[in-house]
Amino acid sequence: MADLPGIVVTGASGRMGQMLVRTIGASDKARLVGCVERSGHAWVGRDIGECMGGAAVGVVVTDDPLEAFAKAQAVIDFTAPAATVEFAALAAQARAVHVIGTTGLEAAHLAKIEAAARHAVIVRAGNMSLGVNLLVRLTQKIAAALDEDWDVEIVEAHHRMKVDAPSGTALMLGQAAAEGRGVDLEAAMDSGRHGITGARKRGAIGFAAVRGGDIVGEHDVIFAADGERVILRHVATDRAIFARGALRAAIWGQGAKPGQYDMMDVLGL
Ligand SMILES: NC(=O)c1ccc[n+]([C@@H]2O[C@H](COP(=O)([O-])OP(=O)(O)OC[C@H]3O[C@@H](n4cnc5c(N)ncnc54)[C@H](O)[C@@H]3O)[C@@H](O)[C@H]2O)c1
Ligand SMILES: O=C(O)C1=N[C@H](C(=O)O)CCC1
């Protein structure tokens, strides 16, 4: 047991944090060695098992990430952009693999993560599920096969608490469509239409976001031409798919050289 990779979960009280604690607890390939929450959070100083309504598991939630990371071989991080940037530097200092699921990262955040990856293994993906990563590959292939008579639209739906849009997954799918077509996503992106928008620009890659209720995550990639449509769809019904992917990435990262990787590397897609 002691030779299994030790994992720290950041944002342990969150929707993904709790799912990760359960997934690692049930795994025979890794062990939970730490849980981090923000300072002032009611769970800090308490056993994570009891916080989640069960028996004590011997892991006390801390607000000191460096102390927690020092005991770990990997950090799994589904929190918020500012926290993730801080954790990237600390995980590199502790020589722990950093698995980043956090979305909504902007250019300045990504530059700091890239800097940390010079000294450490970082696996980052806007979606850690096998199904979505397959969909990304399919999107790239279909976009490469179809010309600009086929309009690409990405429609995503998530729960009412999600704070970023387009979703990380939608951006991965948009990037795949842009790569398939050999264009730059930033130049082709048309997101959040409103008002008198004018007719659709040829070659645009459109994004639309739905937010409501407890939707775990749904993504459609629509290729629409005159007279026909191709629609690729992924529907997540359980956050366990993201947690399983993240744990697989943490274990895979143990043998890797410093650098930044994604789930395509982990899954061999
Ligand atoms: N990549 C994927 O597969 C995937 C899947 C699901 C969610 N996500 C992303 O993961 C992130 C979290 O999603 P969620 O639904 O769990 O959100 P959430 O709001 O339920 O959880 C976030 C947690 O992070 C904690 N946190 C914030 N700042 C912190 C800090 N400085 N130190 C320690 N903890 C801190 C919060 O207190 C909270 O408990 C979002 O960016 C979301 O888009 C990614
Ligand atoms: O619940 C979320 O938030 C999710 N975020 C990821 C995204 O932004 O695509 C993955 C799906 C769930």
Dihedral sign for Cα 237, 165, 264, 182, please.
Answer: positive
Q: Which helix (H) or strand (E) holds 152?
A: strand 151-158
Cα 122 from Cα 127, distance rounded (Å): 15
Q: What does the pLDDT average to over 81-109?
A: 98
For residues 135 and 127, is the Cβ–Cβ distance under 8 A?
A: no
Is 45 annotated as contributing to ligand binding?
no
Residue 1 CA to ligand 2 center (angstroms) comes to: 32
Is 197 annotated as contributing to ligand binding?
no
Percent of the chain with pLDDT over 70: 100
Q: pLDDT-derived band of residue 47, with 50, 70 and 90 as boundaries?
A: very high
Question: Is residue 18 pLDDT above 80, yes or no?
Answer: yes
Q: What is the pLDDT of residue 2?
A: 73
Residue ID of nearest Cα to ligand 2 atom 4: 217
Among 162, 218, 220, 221, the mutation site with the greatest number of ligand 2 atoms within 8 A of its Cβ is 162
What ipTM goes with this model?
0.99
Fill in the DSSP letter of residue 200: P
List alpha helices for the chain, DSSP H. Answer: 15-25, 48-51, 65-69, 81-93, 107-116, 130-145, 168-181, 185-188, 240-252, 263-267
What six digits make up the tokens of 38?
A: 């923000």
Cα 67 from Cα 112, distance rounded (Å): 21
Q: pLDDT-derived band of residue 84, with 50, 70 and 90 as boundaries?
A: very high
Establish how many alpha carbons lie within 13 A of residue 55's alpha carbon, considering only the half-sphere containing its beta carbon.
Answer: 2
- Ligand 1 lined by 25 (C-beta under 6 Å): no
Task: Give the three-state DSSP class for 1.
Answer: coil
- Ligand 1 lined by 125 (C-beta under 6 Å): yes
User: For the whole model, what pTM was predicted?
Assistant: 0.98
Which class would CATH give 130-236?
alpha beta
Cα 226 from Cα 149, distance rounded (Å): 8
> Which residues are designated catalytic?
158, 162
Residue 174 CA to ligand 2 center (angstroms) comes to: 15
**Structural domain spans, the chain:** 6-128+239-267, 130-236
Is 213 annotated as contributing to ligand binding?
no
Please give the number of the atom of ligand 2 that sits closest to the Cα of 162.
3
Q: What does the pLDDT average to over 62-71?
A: 98
Is 244 annotated as contributing to ligand binding?
no
What single-letter amino acid sits at 236? A
- Ligand 1 lined by 109 (C-beta under 6 Å): no
Q: What is the CATH number of domain 6-128+239-267?
A: 3.40.50.720
Residue ID of nearest Cα to ligand 1 atom 25: 11
Contacts of 182 (CB under 8 A, 6+ apart): none
What single-letter amino acid sits at 164? D
As a whole number, the mean pLDDT across the chain is 98
Using alpha carbons only, what angle is made at residue 129 by residues 127 and 132, rounded to the nearest 5 degrees?
A: 75
Residues facing residue 163 across a β-bridge: none
Q: What does the pLDDT average to over 127-131?
A: 98
Could you report the per-residue pLDDT of 160-212, keeping only the tens digit for each?
Answer: 999 999 999 999 999 999 999 999 999 999 999 999 999 999 999 999 999 99
Q: What does the pLDDT average to over 65-78?
A: 98
Query: CB 245: neighbour CB atoms within 10 A?
Result: 25
Q: What is the pLDDT of residue 114?
A: 98
Cis peptide preceding 166, ω within 30 of 0: yes
For residues 192 and 164, is the Cβ–Cβ distance under 8 A?
A: no
Residue ID of nearest Cα to ligand 2 atom 2: 162
